[in-house]
Amino acid sequence: MDSQDNKINYKVILAALAAVVLGILIAFYYSYAQSKTQINYLEQEKDLLVKDLTIMKADVDRLSALNEVNEIELQDSKYRVQQLIDSVGRLNFTVEKLREFKTELRRLESKNDSLKLKNNFLKYNSMLIGEKYEESRRQIEILRGKSNSLAEAEALQRKKILELNNELKTKNYLKLQNATGSGFRLRSEKPIKTNKASIIEKLRGCVTIVANPEDENKDKVLYFQFLDPNKQVIEDNANTINVNGNVYSKRVEFIFNGKETPVCDFISIPEGSLQPGIYTINVFEDERLLSSAEFQLK
């Protein structure tokens, strides 16, 4: 009969180990998918910035071309003004000719002012484009840094998962049996066992550690996790234990002597805080579930 029980326990342990490994692989896949999505988003942002910079470069080239045209027009105007000055120096002109020259000079001055305005506008646009180019370049550098950070975080996460997998394969966990949970009320500070939910002030969890001489005189830590009928963790004096994202009700430390050892501990709760239903006691070592049992409160 003991041999059959051992086989059943062995199968349960193998199934729990498979469930833990499967959970880790699912978490890794989900994390990897999130990292891949963020990297794709950063690559798209980078492509958009490169496209904007290409358009800016084309605008700069166009403005440079317009600036060269304006310079040519300025030179032409200077040449025509010089021609008029030379004409005045050579000709005996009339008042009408002088007026004509003055009219032409005013037109050239107006054109020259217009060219100055255009040139100033082009310089201003060139300055804005230069500032936008620098800002875009800074954003690209930031995106590159974020992309590298994501890649490093992803590599670190893969390394941690591999380390956890190796630890699961090599760690020698305790073997537990006969996990039980029960409720107690207090009378003159003395605990009295009861299954009436409304008067319970303490919950007790117990489990028996199977003898294992290889673990003799070693420090061990078990975590008790009490769950209510809604599978919510029950707190001990409004406190819980959080280990790597897992929430427990109680931490139990002891020195294992290698022999069969019963381990029990209590958590305290406000009287009247529990409701009738099926409760669960789970016992963990590190993050691995070693034993579980249900008990009913009325």
Write down the domain spans for the chain. 2-170, 176-297
The answer, yes or no, to whether residue 178 has pLDDT greater than 50, is: yes
Identify which has the larger pLDDT, 216 or 15: 216
Query: Where does residue 228 rank: exposed (0-12), middle (13-18), buried (19+ CB within 10 A)?
Result: middle
Phi, psi of 238 (to 5 degrees): 65, 20
Which residues share a beta bridge with 247? Answer: 242
Gap between the Cα atoms of 72 and 84, Å rounded: 19
Q: What is the pLDDT of residue 103?
A: 76
Please work out, in degrees rounded to the nearest 5, the angle formed at the alpha carbon of residue 233 by the alpha carbons of 232 and 238.
Answer: 120
Instruction: Report the SS3 class of residue 266.
Output: strand
Q: Could you give the C-alpha distances from 249 to 114, 208, 238, 295, in angstroms and in order?
A: 82, 19, 10, 16
Phi, psi of 264 (to 5 degrees): -130, 150
Looking at residue 236, what DSSP letter applies? B
Where does 171-220 have alpha helices with state H?
none
Model confidence pLDDT, tens digit, residues 136-155: 888 888 887 777 777 777 77
Gap between the Cα atoms of 146 and 275, Å rounded: 50
Identify which has the larger pLDDT, 228 or 80: 228
The answer, yes or no, to whether residue 160 has pLDDT greater than 80, is: no
Q: What is the pLDDT of residue 84?
A: 58
Model confidence pLDDT, tens digit, residues 245-287: 889 999 999 888 888 889 999 999 999 899 999 999 999 988 8
Band (pLDDT 50/70/90 cuts) for residue 118 is confident
Q: If residue 193 lies in a helix (H) or strand (E), which one and from where to where?
A: strand 190-194
Q: What is the pLDDT of residue 235?
A: 92
Write out the CATH class of domain 176-297. mainly beta
Write out the CATH class of domain 2-170. mainly alpha
Gap between the Cα atoms of 143 and 40, Å rounded: 11
Model confidence pLDDT, tens digit, residues 66-107: 655 566 666 766 666 566 556 555 544 455 666 666 677 677
Q: What is the pLDDT of residue 80?
A: 65
What mean pLDDT comes out for the span 16-20? Answer: 70
Band (pLDDT 50/70/90 cuts) for residue 173 is confident
